[in-house]
Structure 1
Amino acid sequence: MADYQEENINFFAETNFRNQRIKFGIKLDDRRKHMYVIGKTGMGKTVMLENMAISDIQAGFGLAFIDPHGESAEQLLNFIPENRLKDIIYFCPFDTAYPIAFNPLETVGEEHRHLMASGILEIFKKIWPDVWSARMEYILNNCLMALLEYPDSTLLDIMRLLTDKDYRNKIVSGLKDPVVKNFWLNEFARYHEKFQVEAIAPIQNKVGQFLTNPLIRNIVGQPQSSFNIRQIMDEGKILIANLSKGRIGEINSALLGAMLVTKIQQAAMARADVPEEKRRDFFLYVDEFQTFATEAFSNILSEARKYHLCLIMAHQYISQIPEVVRAAIIGNIGTFVVFRVGADDAEWLEKEFAPEFIANDLVNLGKYNIYIKLMVDGVTSKAFSATTLPPKPIPEKTFVDVIIEFTRLKYCRPKAEVEKMISDQWMDTNNNKKMSSGVEEKIEKNNKKSFPDFCWVCGKEVELPFEPDGKRPVYCKDCLKDITSGKITPPTKPIKLETNIVKNAFSGKGKKLIEKKPTEKPKTKIDVDELKKALRESLSKLSNDNEEKNK
């Protein structure tokens, strides 16, 4: 961390010319032009990304690390320091007992809806190229654009929109986009029954197969995401996505990862409402990025810099990515890092690294050895050779179990509760009226009622326009002002709370959580065993309370 603070440099390698070992890195401003890493498997790409991410975490930066294998995600958990435990969101789809909520259709502004729709379409197109057609794309695009307008819609509603006429009429009646509304009223509604069945069959076969998987359904079927990516970026939090292909399947890993990338892009572009000097730098690490590299990825490379979204992406060979993305890499990447590559890739890269290195040099690099063109103060250097730094040693004290328990309590819900919620949404017991009017009833209820709760800092009673869930912190006006000004730290760290307070905090029953005692210094040590016991008791209480309510 001390090294990083020197001009905000992230050190990741050292020179090896004539045995002169000089450690070097990349400055913060130069990272906004992105970093591209390529090399065969086992050459050291992942270790380099892990080292850079660990340095960012320890330096207090915000980042997202998307890992399709899982090992790096698990490794990074060992390096989360105690002072950043409140910042971590561990996205772990295979933790089926406590599914996290991620709804890519949630809270997308009108000006960004077309970007989200096209991003999701590109994902589907990449995953299912064998059945993709212009008609399938046309229908799906209108599905997504309609659902993006309707409150509390999820990807599960695609199938209902296509097959449930009453539900479709309810959605269409509230549409404001004239083109989308015209499609549903004057095109789709006039399809002959046989033609309509043929038109939606490919969507049912592929998209339906993805959405009916319980593992995926319990994640994307929850209307409210349990984390806000824009907030993660603006507040410098840490999102680690463990998308292990071996545990959730290759297609599910690719779809979830690509949706996360698309949502991050949309959140970054939404920063247009903030002056550039106030946009906080956020780093997006994507290992094996060809898995998530749709043609829309080229837009991220060209647009992300101005929104302070800095990409670090790695993969194995060029043919894995679309031609349009290759062109975007050449035109927008500031720093190139090359490990050993194959002959075909060496020919393509030789144009960038000549005359210092030729294709034959690129195919004969040893493990952890690289050729690099480094951006320095806005100018890309000539190519030179280097050796990446070795893996960082795991700290003696880690908080992996605490992070997992904390994520479950703050960002996840028990599986039974999630499945019941989804089942209730799909119940059709009253001529579809329950589903069609559910959103309006919810909005009307929230508009008319206020809910009592207590400030998490001082214990003062407050009135909320929404029903407290125990996960979303609550502050009174005075404490919120103190938090905004930096006078006090928001108490979103249940690991430092006593057992009974943890129970109250996560049940939504407000009590005075933290007393302001200027003369007392907060405790900095954590009894991990006691904490885990407290969290489990809290979780057990929540489950029991939910069962009682259901009864």
Structure 2
Amino acid sequence: MVLASPESGWLGRFLLDPGTTLREVVTTIEHAALSPAAVLVLVGVAGVLAAAYALGRLRRARLRADARQVTVLTPPEVDPKGALAFWAHLIGQLRPAWKRALLGQPHLGFEYTVTPEAGAAIRLWVPGSVPTGLVERAVASAWRGAHTDTTGTARPPLPAAGEGVRRVVVGGELRLGRREGLPLRTDYSGELVRDLITAADDLAPGQAACVQILARPVTGRRVARATRRAATTGTGTGFVVGVLRDLLDLLAPGPLHRTSARTPAATGVRGGDRQAVMEVTAAARGAAVKARGPHWETVVRYAVTVPISDTLPTSGAARAVARGRADALATVFGACTDHNYYRRVHRIRLGRLLEKRYLGRGDVLSVPELAAIAHLPTDDGLPGLHRAGARALSPAPQIPTGGPHTKPLGVADTASRRPVAVKVSDARHHLHILGPTGVGKSTLLARVILDDAEAGRGVIVIDPKGDLVTDVLSRLPRRFGDRVVLFDADSGNPPPCVNPLDIARTGKAGSDLAVDNLVTVFHRIYSQWWGPRTDDIMRASLLTLCAQPGTPTLADLPRLLTEPAYRHRVTRTTPDPLLRQFWDSYETLSDTGRAQLTGPLLNKLRAFLLRPFVKAAIAGGPSTVEFADVLDNGGICLARLPKGSLGEETSRLVGSLLVARTWQAVTARARIPAAERPDAALVLDEAQNFLNLSTPVEDMLAEARGLRLSLLLAHQNLGQLSRELRDGISANARNKVIFAVSPDDARDLARHTDPWLSEHDLSHLDAYHAAARLLVDGQNARPFTLTTRPLPPPTPGRAREIAAAARTRLTTSDVQASGAVAVESDGGTATRRDPRRVQPPPVSKSSRKALPR
């Protein structure tokens, strides 16, 4: 049965004869329902609908499963075209037709959230089906310098209400007000994101605002349907519009046959109305422009949540406040009005829609339109916005990731998160580590020290604060206890002795270098009170003591200058005529004259030697540890010299003397063929305190490379370095690791990292975040950024256990030394090496990692 004829619509027949029309409808339904085919059709339709519903739920569950949240930290300078690149890049996630039909098309969520507690944040909700790291790399590629922080569990965009707290959520959805083929405005002269954040800037505690943009890529067919009739200025034809049209046709009959939708009459334009024709033409051009390129299907939701509190005691009051805030957010999108515009749509259970990120059928937007509403703000003055301190640069491919011939530094802070390291051969060009306290220098140094110990490379560490040595001791494996030599100023046990005047191994030829280093160390540390006469007295006295048989110590120097009998016994056998002339003139002085000359030197020596730890470690007799053995046999020498226990000057002096002794041991390697010199390291925290040798720094660094000693020089700022030290380290410590520094230092250090990293980047690095420029096979690689790895948890009691093992070995060596001396006296024989020296056992070939030569 036909309910409508060409001459009249079904509505007209119903109004003329409602009873007959209803009877015809009921009769038609009864005949259709009683037929077996109709029953099968109904069952089939119900089954299809149930299957479609179940498939839809399964798709949505799969999309939400393992979803992650990516917080985007805005870079200091935002490229306005970055959003275009970002959304165009991700259009490649469009799945094939069969996969979309079975599994659905994943969508992304671009969310702006503002809370008084956490400020403004820009986050991306990413389904688990999108590959890990894809969105993070797209962000880094589109916005240079942007950082991403990914969490494995996606949180709701609006904070959850606490226990016993009631909240009111007000908001809605923004949908296109005209046919979706018509374009929105993309050349807005203001800043939409700034306006959104500003609209929610002064929220009260407990309130929150959110704008959520859900988007998924669509096919060309979907775009073609959206733009097919876009040139018309109507809002579309739906059921309600069709009923109203039939009613108007009934009241004011028009032509029997409707005009084709493709004719100008369908647009409502009369032939003589030029303004209307121009409007339609402009809309057609805009639609044609929008139809080009990739497209996304989108939904925009906004909401504000307000708690019911003392100031807003009723839900009505809270709802009024929330409605005003929500209207301010929605009003911002009025700036997108062009041929199309956004209209507000009420949604029930809005909070659940926001939390589940459900995207049904949305509006089609081109990439420029989507980029206009979903992008990073270009305004650098937005309050409370989470910003990235420095740009993230991935390491060059040739930067090693680790291995037996490398020293680990950390991991890249880009999406790859790959490990980064420096080759042992390149570490011979030394490592300069710069940054204030608390940024991660000690963590990096401890990592390198533990790796050197694991690899069997000798390492000497001088720590003026004490924490670095404590961290290392509490994490060393127990099997390394017999390789440790420990100087601890806070320990009540006697330390090992490193006598800077002990030249038993180097012979008389090494006395000149030992004396030069000692005098230079005292001169530089006490430069304000050091004159040429003091320098002359100390140098002549030390050379005189070194010329005597036996092992002199610094404790003999005051006796030489103040005790006539001891001085006469020592100086009468001095072979050097210049030294005898010096002592002859010294003897002619009165006691008062000698006291005036020696007073500046003696008061410093007394302050130094009156400390029991210093006297035992520096002037306790023959050396009980040889740094040559530590460096060559994989020893681990840890010198803990806290300034709080020793005083600043004494800590500097002891550390400088240990460095001088290390340098004497290193220069002795010149007698060993280059291929047989094992790699070793000297780690100096607060390095400016200990580089006080007679050898210029640039010469020391250049010679150390050939002798296979790598120096790790760490300090806080460039102002701590003298001009000589700054130039020498800048030119010869060619591996640079720079943590957050002051703007003044960043200006100088940017010369090493330009044009990849600017001075702004160097001064805005986060904690445990550093910029590095390393050598690869002797060549400079481009800079990159990294984050240091946290140390493993300390082993309780391990530091005491290692210290006890080192102390036991020292005591055993002293007992053996006493027995060896007795045998010497009784038998009259001589040994080649002083048995009193503590020598770490050599690392076996099976446990030592093969090192490059």
TM-score, length basis structure 2: 0.48
Of residues 502, 518, 523, the one that matches 1:106 is 502
Rounded to whole Å, the distance in 2 between the matches of 1:472 and 1:16 is: 43
AA matched with 1:94: D
Rounded to whole Å, the distance in 1 between the matches of 2:645 and 2:567 is: 35
State the shift of 1:488 in Å.
12
2:410 pairs with 1:13: yes
**Structure 1 counterpart of 2:294:** none
**Structure 1 counterpart of 2:646:** 248
Q: Which has the higher contact order (CA 8 A, sep 6+)?
A: 1
**Structure 2 counterpart of 1:264:** 662
Rounded to whole Å, the distance in 2 between the matches of 1:21 and 1:81 is: 27
Of residues 731, 747, 751, the one that matches 1:347 is 747
Rounded to whole Å, the distance in 2 between the matches of 1:192 and 1:169 is: 16
Name the SS of the counterpart of 1:203 in structure 2. helix
- Aligned-residue identity in percent: 27
**Structure 1 counterpart of 2:571:** 172
Rounded to whole Å, the distance in 2 between the matches of 1:13 and 1:201 is: 51
Of residues 474, 479, 489, the one that matches 1:83 is 479
2:806 pairs with 1:407: yes
State the shift of 1:307 in Å.
1.3
Name the SS of the counterpart of 2:420 in structure 1. strand
Map 1:479-490 to 2 at 5 A: none
**Structure 2 counterpart of 1:276:** 674
> Segments of 4+ in structure 1 off by > 6 A?
466-473, 483-489
State the shift of 1:239 in Å.
0.4
Rounded to whole Å, the distance in 2 between the matches of 1:7 and 1:197 is: 59
Rounded to whole Å, the distance in 2 between the matches of 1:194 and 1:471 is: 42
AA matched with 2:677: R
Q: Which has the larger radius of gyration?
A: 2
Tell me: CA distance 1:333–1:487, structure 2 relative to 1, closer, same or farther (3 Å): closer
Give the aligned CA root-mean-square deviation in angstroms.
3.3
Instruction: Render the CA deviation track for 1:468-502: whole Å, top value 9, x for unaligned.
Output: 989879xxxxxxxxx9997999xxxxxxxxxxxxx
2:776 pairs with 1:379: no
> 1:143 touches 1:161 (CA, 8 Å); kept in 2?
yes
**Structure 1 counterpart of 2:421:** 25
Name the SS of the counterpart of 1:14 in structure 2. strand
Of residues 325, 328, 339, the one that matches 2:728 is 328
State the shift of 1:183 in Å.
2.3
Tell me: CA distance 1:329–1:294, structure 2 relative to 1, closer, same or farther (3 Å): same
Rounded to whole Å, the distance in 2 between the matches of 1:312 and 1:388 is: 16
Tell me: CA distance 1:135–1:487, structure 2 relative to 1, closer, same or farther (3 Å): closer
> 1:51 touches 1:392 (CA, 8 Å); kept in 2?
no
Map 1:44-443 to 2 at 5 A: 44-107=440-503, 108-150=506-548, 151-185=550-584, 187-294=585-692, 296=694, 298=697, 299-395=699-795, 399-411=798-810
Name the SS of the counterpart of 2:517 in structure 1. helix
Rounded to whole Å, the distance in 1 between the matches of 2:768 and 2:641 is: 25
Name the SS of the counterpart of 1:286 in structure 2. strand
Rounded to whole Å, the distance in 1 between the matches of 2:602 and 2:594 is: 12
Q: Compare 151-160 and 355-364 and name the one that shifted more.
A: 355-364
Rounded to whole Å, the distance in 1 between the matches of 2:520 and 2:581 is: 24
Rounded to whole Å, the distance in 1 between the matches of 2:683 and 2:834 is: 34
Rounded to whole Å, the distance in 1 between the matches of 2:685 and 2:751 is: 24
State the shift of 1:237 in Å.
0.7
AA matched with 2:703: E
Name the SS of the counterpart of 1:346 in structure 2. helix
State the shift of 1:413 in Å.
9.6
AA matched with 2:790: P
Of residues 34, 37, 58, the one that matches 2:430 is 34
AA matched with 1:120: L
> 2:481 touches 2:802 (CA, 8 Å); kept in 1?
yes
Q: Compare 80-89 and 31-40 and name the one that shifted more.
A: 80-89
AA matched with 2:707: Y
State the shift of 1:161 in Å.
1.0
State the shift of 1:28 in Å.
0.9
AA matched with 1:240: L
Instruction: Render the CA deviation track for 1:131-156: whole Å, top value 9, x for unaligned.
Output: 11111111111122222333221111
Rounded to whole Å, the distance in 2 between the matches of 1:484 and 1:13 is: 29
State the shift of 1:341 in Å.
0.8
> 1:116 touches 1:266 (CA, 8 Å); kept in 2?
yes
> 1:100 touches 1:411 (CA, 8 Å); kept in 2?
yes
Structure 1 unaligned runs (5+)?
A: 422-441, 452-462, 474-482, 490-551
Q: Compare 85-94 and 142-151 and name the one that shifted more.
A: 142-151
Instruction: Render the CA deviation track for 1:291-331: whole Å, top value 9, x for unaligned.
Output: 21226461432221111111011000112122111121122
> 1:104 touches 1:259 (CA, 8 Å); kept in 2?
yes
2:827 pairs with 1:450: yes
Name the SS of the counterpart of 1:130 in structure 2. helix
TM-score, length basis structure 1: 0.73
Instruction: Render the CA deviation track for 1:429-460: whole Å, top value 9, x for unaligned.
Output: xxxxxxxxxxxxx99x9865339xxxxxxxxx
State the shift of 1:412 in Å.
5.2
Rounded to whole Å, the distance in 1 between the matches of 2:843 and 2:650 is: 42
Rounded to whole Å, the distance in 2 between the matches of 1:202 and 1:52 is: 41
> 1:70 touches 1:243 (CA, 8 Å); kept in 2?
yes
Rounded to whole Å, the distance in 2 between the matches of 1:137 and 1:236 is: 37
Name the SS of the counterpart of 2:749 in structure 1. helix
AA matched with 1:332: N
Name the SS of the counterpart of 2:684 in structure 1. strand
Rounded to whole Å, the distance in 2 between the matches of 1:104 and 1:235 is: 21
Rounded to whole Å, the distance in 2 between the matches of 1:97 and 1:84 is: 20
Rounded to whole Å, the distance in 2 between the matches of 1:467 and 1:55 is: 31
Name the SS of the counterpart of 1:449 in structure 2. helix
State the shift of 1:15 in Å.
1.9
Tell me: CA distance 1:403–1:114, structure 2 relative to 1, closer, same or farther (3 Å): same
